[in-house]
Amino acid sequence: MTTESARPDPPATSPSIVLLTLAHRVESELGAALSPLGLTVSRLGLLGHIAGVPGASFSDLARMSGITVQSVHTAVKALAGAGLVRDRKARAGSASTLELTPEGARLMGEAMKAVEDVDERLFGPDADPIQRRIADTVRAAFTGLSPSPPDGTTGRTPDGSTG
């Protein structure tokens, strides 16, 4: 009789599966943290895009959010109805100029505190070491980068400079 375990080797680590699993956990934690504020992860994303990309069109917002333009219109209408965003050029035939209202900015601040709490819980010093390594890798990947303009260009000239 042998005492060795007949367990098979663990499966190969798939970055796709690891990130997908972690993304589900992050979305669940964020959803729970945002719920008391009356926000969803998607609505927080839209508020963030509206705040962070002045003059973004509905098409820009749809591309950045990975949803349809019709869905953006519906969501923005709900955000406006809740007093969180307004359209400074709300007239037929004009491109919209969306911005956060003071209440939207206040709520965005509260939501970002909730995001920080989730980040601390999932990726802080007391978190799983692998999750901390993933967070460190993500931060390192984005260090020194500025966001791309909403038109999808890199903001760089042909020689690679930013000016």
DSSP 114-160: HHHHHHHHHHSTTS-HHHHHHHHHHHHHHTTPPPPPTTS--S--TTS
Distance in angstroms (rounded) separating the CA atoms of residues 11 and 26: 23
147, 64 in Cβ contact below 8 A? no
Give residue 57's pLDDT: 87
Residue 82 covered by a domain: yes
User: Is 144 part of a structural domain of the chain?
Assistant: no
Give the per-residue pLDDT at 8.
Answer: 80
Q: Domain count for the chain, please give it.
A: 1
- The tens place of each residue's pLDDT in the chain, 163 residues long, gives 555 667 787 677 889 999 999 999 999 999 999 999 999 999 999 999 999 998 888 999 999 999 999 999 999 999 999 999 998 776 666 667 899 999 999 999 999 999 999 999 999 999 999 999 999 999 999 998 766 655 555 544 444 444 4
Q: What is the CATH number of the domain that holds 80?
A: 1.10.10.10
Q: Is residue 149 part of a domain?
A: no
Please provide residue 160's backbone torsions phi and psi, each rounded to the nearest 5 degrees: 95, -10
Residue 115 domain boundaries: 15-136
